[in-house]
Amino acid sequence: MNNRVSAASRVGAILLFVVLAVSAAVGMLMAHLADPAARLGSTSGVMLFNHSSPVSDFKFIDQHGEHRDQASFSSGWKLVFFGYTFCPDICPTTLADLNRVWKALPDEARQRLDVVFVSVDPQRDRPASLAPYLQYFNPAFVGLTGNPQALAQLAQEINGFYARVDRGEAPYLMDHSANLMLVDAQWQFRGYIEPPFRPGRLTPILAALAGM
């Protein structure tokens, strides 16, 4: 009898341990899923740095000819993409994807995000050409141009790359980085998102970012 009681006690203790362990694991999983930073940090192709770095203030002109500095933006995350209107492939594809994602996001998420298209070709990208270009994709997107020095400084601070590619008699092209750079509401460089930017992949990423 005592042996049966002892065995039953051991079985009960083991079952209790299993239940507690499973409950703890579920709790940790739910906490992870509820934490946007944790979700982003474990998402392939998304890099969030342990330490942020400040972005210097700047003076650009936007697609409407208005002067823009950091204070002219909303207090949300900035998705910064370097490109140019003469780009034959990467830029139109990325902007089209971002437009589809933008439309799929809830209003409260859009209010916490700014898509910022920084021209790496200020020589050709004037407001007169930049405005209809961005209007075609999404009028809510902000285009910045008109200041080569500010461009160089910003690219250096948030790991953007660009370089002119001369092609003889043909119009020159620009090589440039394809990542979406992540800058928070305090203008701190926090990380980046690598392509591809398919809506099915990017929409939950940006929704989580807006929740941080």
CB neighbour list of residue 175: distance below 8 Å, 6 or more residues apart: 161, 162, 163, 164, 165
Taking only the tens place, the pLDDT of each residue in 141-185 is 999 999 999 999 999 999 999 999 999 999 999 999 999 999 999
User: Are residues 60 and 149 in contact, defined by beta-carbon separation less than 8 angstroms?
Assistant: no
Beta bridge partners of 192: 47, 181
Taking only the tens place, the pLDDT of each residue in 29-88 is 344 445 566 667 668 899 999 999 999 999 999 999 999 999 999 889 999 999 999 999
Whole-angstrom distance, CA of residue 192 vs CA of residue 18? 40
Taking only the tens place, the pLDDT of each residue in 89-139 is 999 999 999 999 999 999 999 999 999 999 999 999 999 999 999 999 999
User: Would the pLDDT of 210 be above 90?
Assistant: yes
Which pLDDT value is given to residue 24? 46
Which pLDDT value is given to residue 43? 84
Mean pLDDT of the chain: 88
